[in-house]
Amino acid sequence: MIKMTDIIMDGHPILREKAASVKLPASQEEKETLQEMLQFLKNSQDPKIAEKYGLRPGIGLAAPQIGISKRMIAVLVTDDEENVYSYALFNPKILSHSVEQTYLEGGEGCLSVDEDIPGNVPRYARITVTGTDLNGSEVKLRLKGLPAICFQHEIDHLDGIMFYDRIDKKDPFQTYGKPVLR
């Protein structure tokens, strides 16, 4: 089981690396790791389990955050229409994106960052993501709202990018299109 002590914190160089593609088909070990990452998100969102193990709730997790520099992400997020997006993907890629931007009202946080870093993080309003799931099936997702923001945050981790890198230093609260409300 993944716990908070397994989370690599900001300042560790692995969070700044470009993660390597997973050679497909993924190994049993890689599949187990990715499954564990999704389970961590489920646990972190279960109040009883989160309390028992001291987990911070998370809607996404990227393998570099547990010290594995491979292109694997898990996402467990609910949108404003109560649709649940539960995904564990190898080699996720943004195939295409809108010109329109958005940002999460109140800013973003990260399990690898303890402090609150204020500011709006520009994101694409809509993205199409491809990847390979735990069954080895190729998936293609069209996303908007919080799920789109979450996938962009996670895919950024695979490229060594932290959310605060995208905050405008001169004008942290400038806006980008219509906000996603929390």
Q: Which residues bind ligand SB7 (CB under 6 A)?
A: 58-62, 65, 104, 108-112, 149-150, 153-154, 157
Residues 86-125, mask of contacts with Ni ion (x by CB under 5 A)? ------------------------x---------------
Q: Is 153 annotated as a binding residue?
A: yes
Q: Which is nearer to ligand SB7, 31 or 153 (CB)?
A: 153
Phi, psi (5° rounding) for residue 152? -65, -40
What's CA 53's distance to the chain center, in Å?
A: 21
Q: Which is nearer to ligand SB7, 132 or 152 (CB)?
A: 152
Q: Which does 77 bind (CB under 5 to 8 A by kind): ligand SB7, Ni ion, none?
A: none
Q: Which does 108 bind (CB under 5 to 8 A by kind): ligand SB7, Ni ion, none?
A: ligand SB7
Q: Which residues are part of the catalytic machinery? A: 154
The pair of three-digit structure tokens given for residue 39, joined into one six-digit string: 């389970």
Q: Which is nearer to ligand SB7, 27 or 181 (CB)?
A: 181
Q: How far apart are CA 8 and CA 80, in angstroms?
A: 30
Sheet holding 72-78, edge to edge: 60-62, 72-78, 84-97, 126-132, 138-144
Sheet holding 178-180, edge to edge: 123-124, 101-104, 178-180
Torsional class of 74: left (φ above 0), alpha (ψ -120 to 50), beta (otherwise): beta
Q: What separation in angstroms does the CA of 16 have from each of 20, 68, 149, 171?
A: 12, 12, 20, 24
Q: How far is the CB of 85 from ligand SB7 (least distance, A)?
A: 12
Q: What is the DSSP letter of 31?
A: H
Q: Which does 73 bind (CB under 5 to 8 A by kind): Ni ion, ligand SB7, none?
A: none
Indicate the pairing of strand 101-104 with strand 178-180.
parallel
Q: Which does 55 bind (CB under 5 to 8 A by kind): ligand SB7, Ni ion, none?
A: none
Q: How far is the CB of 120 from ligand SB7 (least distance, A)?
A: 12
Binding site for Ni ion (CB under 5 A): 110
Binding-site residue numbers are 110, 153, 157
Binding-site residue numbers for Fe cation are 110, 153, 157
